[in-house]
Structure 1
Amino acid sequence: MTERGFDLDARLRERERAGLRRHLDPAESVGARTRFSDDPRGGAPEYGDERLVFASNNYLGLASDRRVLQAAENAARAVGTGAGASRLVTGDTGLHRALERDLADCKGAERALLFSSGYAANVGTIDALGPDVVFSDELNHASIVDGCRVGADETVVYDHADPGDLRARMARRAAEELDSAADEAWLVVTDTVFSMDGDVAPLDAICDAAEEFGAWVMVDEAHATGLFGEGGGIVRREGLADRVDVQLGTLSKALASQGGYVAGDEALVESLLNAARSFVFSTGLAPPAVGAARESLRIARETDRADRLWKTVEALRDGLASTGYEVLGETQILPVLVGDRDDALALGDQLADRGVVAPAIRPPTVPEGTARIRVAPMATHTDDEVARCLDAFEAAGEEVGLL
């Protein structure tokens, strides 16, 4: 009989051969430092020595903050541990509405809508809008790429953070489809802070190009929410809320919780809650996650927590550069460029041996020849911990032969 199944063992062997197979390493806790274990595969984890974590998206260090923990507990006691159903059935609670109002206010939008994840928000939103053409930055997150695959008739990829190339590709499309392009719906999609390069999209110029051709602009603020513009992200910092049609983000990074959101005008939110399949057919976000995210957003907006992060970022960037490393970006994400894939893996291993968790990022996640260590500090890292991280980078770089 012809075998029509899937040879998953062969796929795993190929990943192993290419050095791309990943493994789970459970952490004891979430914070600036923790202990790790090899995957116990059902047994009890055996944690080793404590390590400093410089690889987490918990940028404000709020995942273990007592105020956030208490908010999650209060939400569970008041509403329950789960929403119980889709928001359109019985899973819509006052807690969900309160966070949506806070997010809309923070983003300068009329309304916001919670999704089960940022990934679900991207895929569901693009699919619900159903654009004829999406113009997508070449380094956009995988969730945007998948959203385009599911929901767009055609996707045109423009050069990273290059509004000139975006404008040229839109002009070319308009010229090629002169008879029909006027009736098409166009969507320009970009991350604001790019997760692997740590740079920021030139949103003002992107909006200029989109407006020239009557296109909508959608941005993903996953790595910006809670950190810029008094918590409102790059869009709020740049004063572009009235020019960006769809603001999207996650609650799982600086806001130390789980879930995603979309913010925009009334018609957008009403359309999404009716047509976004990843919203309509998903159980409402768990109340403890909603409570935790709401308290994290309040802390981000009302305290100096982000200022503490930026001081740590500056100290790390200056220290790494003075040691001899090339550090990319301009945000809280500090990509230490290595280049060679094997060198980056060796550097990551040497850092781990010295008690610092900052794994290598290599192709295909990043382009060939640009393997790197992605350093992501938290507001809760102390001066001593930053110094230990820099010492580890210096010693590890010398051991690998990069310095």
Structure 2
Amino acid sequence: MALSPFSRMADRGFDLEERLETLEENDLKRSLSPVDRVAERGYFAEPSGGDLPVLDSAEALVFASNNYLGLTDDQRVQDAARQAAATVGTGAGASRLVTGDTMVHRDLERLLAETKGTERALAFSSGYAANVGTITALEPDVVFSDKLNHASIIDGCRLSGAETVVYDHCDAASLRSKLAERTDQARRDGRDPADEAWLIVTDSVFSMDGTVAPLTAICDAAEEYGAWVMVDEAHATGLYANGGGVVQAEGLEDRVQIQLGTLSKALASQGGYVAGSTELIELLINDARSFVFSTGLAPPAAAAASEALHIARHSDVRERLWENVAHLRDGLESMGFEVLGSSQILPVLVGDRQDALALADGIRERDVVAPAIRPPTVPEGTSRIRVVPMATHDQDDVIGCLEAFRAAGEEVGVL
């Protein structure tokens, strides 16, 4: 019997309330907490849902931002963005392939290519778009991916349809073993391994662990097995040699075929980039869907990133960051905290989820912002506080952060 046009079917929608309740029960529900400015300190609002937020009356020190060089409120960077908006416009208005390509974009790409030691560079609307667009455009048969790679790399692998082989985190021996296993399996199946296109993908600095990939050893393995190497320098761009990343610090420009990064962290702007050969960039311009079908990066964002990169290359701002990193790491470790990694990201290992949340709350009560990172973002039993100084924090700021950790750690019982 045919259904009446007025009959109601069972609800085939989504039980959003139950999903939110589950997140709440598991201490996984996140909320937005607006701040008045992006800098080394600011006034925060309590989570307000859809209501108008009300800023707290106490200013807090921010040790949680990826604004590593503290350039978001640098006058030179802001002036560059204002000048681009006044001269070129506030938005690109279209895809770069239509009318959204401007001289501001080209100037940024020229500077990025020069910094990264490549023939060309291409700016994307986000680092996420750069990763997804690049991996899918390359159409690899097999991707060898670090276990802790960023979600955008994981999604790029999925969307590309490639077989993804995961190797142990920052473990070149594990990578080499996976490459050998794949070679042996192909031969057993009567296939020539050379018929497959292989891509090794890794972050250079890992955002939750502060670890640095062993890029030289990865390049050694790649060259032995004929694979290409793609390195995401999102958390490294601007911080290492001559304003480059770990690739530049290790002198690997000629051994890493694809370098990516973001403009939204040390470069105080928005967007992403890919740097490599002319042929790579021409392919991405034509086949990277996240580039082709996105409006071009806003000209003020491109100009801000260019100026920030210039400052990173030609001032002492990087040295000031690393001085703060050393001071903060030494202070935390001397108290008895275990600090992971070997980069500007300082994850303070707590272990228990509830202890980590309590420590973060205790630090926040002392007007220092540093969030608790817990499962599923990190493995069970490895909850931590992610601490990140900026170049613009002064000595008193760092001391204030350390004092907050000491007092909160004693209060919570983790010291």
Please give the TM-score of this superposition, normalised by the length of structure 1: 0.99
Identity of aligned residues (%): 68
Choose from 364, 367, 371 the match for 1:355.
Answer: 367
Residue of structure 1 equivalent to 2:10: 2
- The reply to whether residue 154 of structure 1 matches residue 163 of structure 2 is yes
Contact 2:32 2:49 in 1 (8 A): no
Which residue in 2 is equivalent to 1:138? 147
User: Could you tell me how far 1:124 is from its partner in structure 2?
Assistant: 0.5
Partner residue of 1:31 out of 16, 30, 39: 39
**Secondary structure of 2:411's match?**
helix
Q: Conserved in 2, the CA contact under 8 Å of 1:133 and 1:152?
A: no
Contact kept? 2:69, 2:391, Cα under 8 Å:
yes
Distance 1:44 1:163 in 2: 50
Deviation digits for residues 101-143 of structure 1, max 9, x if unmatched?
Answer: 0000000000000000000000010000010000000011111
Asked whether 1:113 is paired with 2:122, we answer yes
- State yes or no: 1:45 paired with 2:53: yes
State the SS of the aligned residue for 2:140.
Answer: coil
Structure 1 residue 215: deviation in Å? 0.5
One-letter amino acid of the counterpart of residue 304, structure 1: D
CA contact (8 A) 1:141 1:191 kept: yes
C-alpha deviation, 1:181, in angstroms: 2.5
Output the amino acid matched with 1:51. Answer: A
Counting matched residue pairs gives 403
**5+ residue gaps in structure 2?**
1-8
Query: Which residue does the alignment assign to 2:28?
Result: 20
Higher alpha-carbon deviation: 36-45 or 157-166: 36-45
Counterpart residue number, 2:252? 240
CA contact (8 A) 1:126 1:152 kept: no
Mapped partners of 1:311, 1:232: distance in 2: 18
Q: Give how far 1:278 is off.
A: 0.2
- Aligned amino acid, residue 34 of structure 2: P
CA contact (8 A) 1:124 1:278 kept: yes
Q: How far 1:40 moved relative to its partner?
A: 3.8
**Which 5+ residue runs of structure 1 have no aligned equivalent?**
none
Cα shift at 1:325: 0.4
1:186 Cα deviation from its structure 2 partner: 0.4
- Within the candidate set 250, 263, 271, 1:259 is matched to 271
Partners of 1:334 and 1:39 in 2: CA distance: 26
Contact 2:132–2:290 under 8 Å retained in 1: yes
Higher-Rg member (1/2): 2
1:80 aligns to 2:92 (yes or no): no
Rounded to whole Å, the distance in 1 between the matches of 2:129 and 2:263 is: 12
SS of 2:121's partner is: strand
Match of 1:394 in 2: 406
Deviations 1:281-334 (A, max 9, x none): 000000110010000000000000000011111110010011110111111100
Structure 1 residue runs of 4 or more that deviate by more than 6 Å after TM superposition: none
Whole-angstrom distance in 2 between the partners of 1:212 and 1:6: 50
**Equivalent residue for 2:99?**
90
TM-fit CA distance, 1:39: 3.5
TM-aligned CA deviation for residue 180 of structure 1: 4.2
Give me the whole-angstrom Cα distance separating, in 2, the residues matched to 1:7 and 1:170: 44
CA apart distance, 1:9: 1.4
